[in-house]
Every structure is written in C-alpha cells, then in structure tokens.
Amino acid sequence: MDYTFFVDESGQSGIKKIGGAGNKGASPYMTLGGVLVPNTHKSNILSELNKLIDIYGKKDLHCSRLNHNQICRFARVVALEKVKLFGVISHKATLGTYRTEIKDSDKKYYNKCAQYLLERLAHFLELNNIEETQVSIVFEDGNYDYSALKSLIRSCRRKPMNPASKRLVRINPNSISSKMKEEEPLLQVSDLVAHALYRCVDDSPSTYGIQETRYVDELRCKFFSEPETQKIVGYGLFPVHRLSQIKASKEVETFLEQLKSY
C-alpha cells in the first residue's frame, strides 16, 4: 500500500522578532501538523470534506475561517477516517543559542521543526514496516526553502546524530514536494491538526487566557501512539524538546502528558 503524508503549520515561523506580553512580532509558538493517508482512501476523505464545505457554506475548510463548532465537527469527521496524525509544538523561547547559529533564519527554523515531524513519521513507518518508496510527502507551500529541507534530511540520513534521526532512512528526500491548498485539498486536514495543536498553547490576547484542548481531544484516537500504553507525547506528538519546555499552562501540560489515543 502507498501513502501520502500531508503537512501544514500554524503560527508564524519568524524568530527575529517574537511577539508576546504586549510586544508586536511573530507568534511565540509554531506548530506543525502531519496526516498520513493511504492513497486508496483519499477519495473517501475528500468526499467527506466536500460534504462539510457544503454544510458550512464555505469555499474551503481553513480553520482560521471556521467557528468553534465547525472545527469540532470537522475534527469528528476526520476522527472517523483512515488516517494517522502527527504533530510538533515549538516554543521559540527555547531556541537559545540555536537562533544565533542559524542567524535568525525563519526558513532554517521551519526546516528543523519539519525534521522533528518527519522523525515522528519515520518512527511509525519503522514500527509498521513501511518503506520509504511507499510514502510521498506534501508540504503546504508557505514560501519556505524545501530544497534546503531535502538537503537537511539527506545530511541526517548520512550522519544521524541520535536515534530519532537514524530513523530518517525511512524518509526519501526526493519524495518531498510542496503544493498550495487549492492544488491539494487534503492539506485542509493537516491544517486542522496544526490548528488544533496551536490552540492548545496560544496565549495571545484574543484567547482571553483560555487555551483550547477540545480539538486535540476530538482527534486523539488518530494520533500515532506508543503501542502498549497508547501515550501520544513522544510518539505522534513532539513538544520541542520536552513537554515542560513549551511552557504550556499547567492544565494544558497535564492534558498533553496524560493524552492517550483511546
């Protein structure tokens, strides 16, 4: 069986000037959402997405243009489909000297987060004996440097620095491409995953101090998880570099720590 892995982000990738506490700048967080879809199931999912579009009276399912109940319904529909979900949550305050090393490059920061996401996917592929030739990878085209991302993955494959990067032998850099959502409507699902994760940690003034875990809770059954315990953090979900570092509220940290896929 062949698969396609769709990737989208939520929040901005900018790291030169980061907002927060009344300061203007890029979002303090960025999240990536990934969705692995069997190619034989694509048409089924598209049919369900189109039904929602008709019900909502929208031209697409971009979460920034949906209300709370519409996103919840969207998540419930996805939770019934044959997909596997993955995600990364990055809090930019943890970048430390890495920011200097990459000279505040938002593109290098984005690619590093993409590497972490692809390592999650590679772990799943390894456990399920899925070869690199069976998976195509499609990023939502956000004006990033996808050629550099491919080079980064090649470098990790040649000289892996840790067990997670060793698994990238399951990721073929040549399988990576980018498309606009208008070209590839299944990117709407990865937009949902990225948005759901971002809303868990978003502490901007518009949230009035309320971080939203409902969307992730609706999707939990589809996240890659530890086979025995079903725990999601450390498997399908990677908070960079550990859960305490994303500085989520205590309520959200506990929610994620206890999150299981059943």
Show the tokens assigned to 82: 């044959």
89 within some domain: yes
Q: Which two tokens stand for residue 88?
A: 């990364």
Backbone angles phi, psi at 61, to 5 degrees: -115, 40
Instruction: Grade residue 203 by pLDDT with cuts at 50, 70 and 90.
Output: confident
pLDDT at 45 over 70: yes
Confidence at residue 163, expressed as pLDDT on a 0 to 100 scale: 93
For residue 29, the cross-strand partners are 91
Percent of the chain clearing pLDDT 70 (strictly above): 99
Residue 24: predicted pLDDT: 81
Distance CA 256, CA 195 (A): 15
Residue 190, domain member (yes or no): yes
262 found inside a domain? no
At 23, list the tokens.
Answer: 């300061």
Residue 131 included in any domain: yes
Q: Which domain holds residue 190?
A: 3-257
Let me know if residue 50 belongs to a domain. Answer: yes
The pLDDT value recorded for residue 25 is 86
Q: pTM score, two decimals? A: 0.97
Contacts of 187 (CB under 8 A, 6+ apart): 6, 8, 138, 140, 179, 181
Q: How confident is the model at residue 21 (pLDDT cuts 50, 70, 90)?
A: low
- Amino acid, res. 226: E
DSSP character at residue 134: G
pLDDT for 44: 97
Instruction: Let me know: does 57 contact 223? Beta carbons within 8 Å.
Output: no
pLDDT per position as a tens digit, 85-111? 999 999 999 898 999 999 999 999 999
d(CA 163, CA 151): 19
Count of domains forming the chain: 1
**Encoded tokens for 2:** 């062949």
φ, ψ of residue 68 in degrees (nearest 5): -60, -50
Token pair for 61: 């399912």
The average pLDDT across 148-173 equals: 96
CATH number at residue 114: 3.30.420.10
Task: Give the β-pairing of 29-38 and 84-91.
Answer: antiparallel
Please name which of 117, 111, 83, 113 lies closest in space to residue 189, comparing C-alpha atoms.
83
Q: For the sheet with 3-10, list strands across it.
A: 176-179, 135-140, 3-10, 29-38, 84-91, 237-239
DSSP single-letter state for residue 59: S
pLDDT at 22 exceeding the cut of 70: no
Helix axes 187-201, 250-257, angle to 10 degrees: 130
Residues comprising the chain, all counted: 262
